């Protein structure tokens, strides 16, 4: 049985042939909307908007073909000043998932560089025009998988870093851009975790968990060996599960890089508010209450207060 994936309607290119079959949800069931090879017209878009639909569905087996197609047009869309913000956000989201999927399959320097080139136009747009952030928050999917989680954490952590360092002249747009690559790639070490562990629906065994806890070290090694990112990106990967009280992993270290603590907060928030096979998504407010218990230091409390203010206007649209 094929699994269907939701995609934002804004990412469907008008007056172009669809490379996959498109479906819409009607009375809790999926029905065909446009067949592969059919031209998606402005009338189709008007019709979907009239029905109040913001998402359309594709077969999971066709997701890669769809992502490749959107990614092939992303450079033009992301750099065109006439394209609406929400369309850029949707294109960026799908393109980022596509680039991360390829990097996880083969995390070499070429794939890491491809991620940089995918992220760069949108990061520059975000830093110039923050209205894009609302569009990004509203587009995030919360059906948890490795790729969507990585993109969600990248979005949340980048935004948090922007807000937190807003008054710090020593952290400019170039530094924030470099950190962002690390946030989107924080879980790249999971590329070395066996798929049967990553996709396990129940609780992990002791041996499974021991393997899973190695992914920060593996991520650090991958990012240092590829050599295309700054050291901070590797620290983010290695330290995002460490805790200042020493209870984290892989090393139980207490002296943690601030950029990794930013990633930790975004990582926990997305994990808690995403649907898993074994749990429903948690409300953002409840997730933030749990994160408060993870705020061990004054830095963490200041970071959390920034995160709460940042999420405030968007919580109703993200879930």
Q: Facing residues of 25 across strands? A: 30
Q: Looking at the structure, do residues 264 and 129 belong to the same domain, yes or no?
A: yes
Torsion region of 37: left, alpha or beta (phi above 0 gives left; psi -120 to 50 gives alpha): left
In a domain, 97, yes or no: yes
As a whole number of Å, the end-to-end CA separation of the chain is 27
- List the structure tokens of 261: 């603590």
Question: Do 139 and 28 fall within a single domain?
Answer: no
Q: Which pLDDT belongs to residue 313? A: 57
Question: Are 55 and 100 contained in the same domain?
Answer: no
Share of the chain above pLDDT 90, in %: 61
pLDDT tens by residue, 43-62: 999 999 999 998 899 998 99
| The predicted structure's pLDDT at residue 294 | 82
DSSP type of residue 276: B
Q: Are residues 159 and 27 in the same domain?
A: no
What percent of the chain has a predicted confidence (pLDDT) above 70?
95
* Assigned domain for 66 exists: no
Residue 26's pLDDT is 87
Q: Is 40 within a domain?
A: yes
Query: Do the domain assignments include residue 47?
Result: yes
| pLDDT score for 228 | 85
Q: Are residues 205 and 278 in the same domain?
A: yes
Count of structural domains, the chain: 2
Could you tell me if 222 and 129 lie in one domain? yes
The answer to the question of residue 76 being in a domain is: no
Is residue 71 included in any domain, yes or no? no
Structural domain including 35 reads: 1-61
Question: Is residue 116, in this structure, part of any structural domain at all?
Answer: yes
Residues 208, 231 contacting (CB under 8 angstroms): no
Q: Which residues of 217-246 are buried (b: 16+ CB within 10 A; e: fewer)?
A: bbbbbbbeebebbeebbbbbbbbbbbbbee
Same domain, 264 and 164: yes
Q: Are residues 14 and 158 in the same domain?
A: no
Chain centroid, CA 289 distance in Å: 22
Residues 169 and 312 in one domain: yes
Residue 215 lies in a domain: yes
- Give residue-wise pLDDT tens across range 145-198: 888 899 999 999 999 999 999 989 888 888 999 999 999 999 999 999 998 998
The CATH number that applies at residue 165 is 1.10.3210.10
| Same domain (yes/no): 248, 308 | yes
Do 57 and 93 lie in a common domain? no
Read off the pLDDT band of 202 (50, 70, 90).
confident
The residue from 61, 95, 113 where one domain ends is: 61
pTM: 0.88
- Same domain assignment for residues 119 and 267: yes
CA angle 300, 249, 303 (to 5 degrees): 10
């Amino acid at each position: 049985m094929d699994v269907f994936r939701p995609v934002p309607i804004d990412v469907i290119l008008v007056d172009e042939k669809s490379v996959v079959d498109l479906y819409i949800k009607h009375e809790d069931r999926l029905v065909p909307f446009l067949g592969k090879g059919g031209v998606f017209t402005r009338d189709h878009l008007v019709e979907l908007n009239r029905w109040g639909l913001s998402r359309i569905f594709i077969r999971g087996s066709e997701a890669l073909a769809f992502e490749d197609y959107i990614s092939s047009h992303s450079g033009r869309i992301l750099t065109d000043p006439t394209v609406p913000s929400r369309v850029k956000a949707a294109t960026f989201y799908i393109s980022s998932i596509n680039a991360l999927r390829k990097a996880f399959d083969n995390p070499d320097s070429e794939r890491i560089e491809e991620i940089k080139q995918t992220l760069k136009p949108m990061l520059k747009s975000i830093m110039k025009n923050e209205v894009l952030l609302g569009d990004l928050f509203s587009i995030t999917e919360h059906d948890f998988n490795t790729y969507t989680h990585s993109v969600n954490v990248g979005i949340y952590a980048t935004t948090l870093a922007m807000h937190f360092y807003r008054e710090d002249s020593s952290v400019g747009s170039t530094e924030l851009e470099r950190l962002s690559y690390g946030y989107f790639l924080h879980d790249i070490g999971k590329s070395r975790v066996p798929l049967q562990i990553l996709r396990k629906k129940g609780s992990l065994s002791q041996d499974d968990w021991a393997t899973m806890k190695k992914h920060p070290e593996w991520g650090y090694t991958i990012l240092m060996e590829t050599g295309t990112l700054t050291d901070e990106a590797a620290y983010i990967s290695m330290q995002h599960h460490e805790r200042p009280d020493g209870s984290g992993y892989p090393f139980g270290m207490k002296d943690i890089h601030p950029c990794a603590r930013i990633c930790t907060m975004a990582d926990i928030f997305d994990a808690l508010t995403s649907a898993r096979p074994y749990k429903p998504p948690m409300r953002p407010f409840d997730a933030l209450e749990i994160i408060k218990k993870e705020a061990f230091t004054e830095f963490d409390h200041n970071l959390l207060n920034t995160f709460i203010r940042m999420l405030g206007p968007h919580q109703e649209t993200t879930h």
